[in-house]
Amino acid sequence: MTLCPRCAHDVVGRLATSPVPGVWDVLQCRRCLYTWRTTEPARRTRRDAYPDVFKLTADDLAAAIEVPAVPPLRTTS
């Protein structure tokens, strides 16, 4: 099973595959949207080699602020 290198989520989709068959795929975590190519270095593709400083948890994702904030709907009276 492929884990997201960044948030360890186990649902990973495929966004693209190499025009030359079988060389690489572009994968994406369905939770944190981290996107990587399978031929990238381990530090970008493997959970056990992914730098701690860039790892995200479910709490980090839940706490992510909105930029820019969604403004109040303007009501017409």
Partner 1 sequence: MAYDDLRGFLAALEEEGQLLRITDEVLPEPDLAAAANAAGRIGEGAPALWFDNVKGFTDARIAMNVHGSWANHALALGLPKDTPVKDQVETFAARWDAFPVAPERREDAPWRENTQQGDDIDLFSVLPLFRLNDGDGGFYLDKAAVVSRDPEDPDDFGKQNVGTYRLQVIGNNRLAMQPVPVHDVALHLRKAEERGEDLPIALTLGNDPVLTLVAGMPMAYDQSEYEMAGALRQAPAPIATAPLTGFDVPWGSEVVIEGVIESRKRQIEGPFGEFTGHYSGGRRMPVIRVDRVSYRTDPVFESLYLGMPWTEVDYLVGPNTCVPLLKQLRAEYPEVQAVNAMYTHGLLVIISTKKRYGGFAKAVGMRAMTTPHGLGYVSQVIVVDEDIDPFNLPQVMWAMSAKVNPKDDVVVLPNLSVVELAPAAQPAGLTSKMIIDATTPVGADARGNFSTPVQDLPEAEEWAARLRQLLAAQG
Binding site for partner 1 (CB under 8 A): 6, 15-16, 18-20, 23-24, 26, 28, 32-37, 39-41, 43-44, 51, 53-54, 56, 60-61, 64-68, 70-74
CB 9 within 8 A of CB 30: yes
Nearer Cβ to partner 1, position 1 or 63?
Answer: 63
Shortest distance, position 54 Cβ to partner 1, whole Å? 4
Nearest Cα to Cα of residue 16 among 5, 32, 28, 30: 28
Count other C-beta atoms under 10 Å from residue 28's C-beta: 17
Nearer Cβ to partner 1, position 1 or 65?
Answer: 65
Nearer Cβ to partner 1, position 1 or 53?
Answer: 53
CB 4 within 8 A of CB 35: no
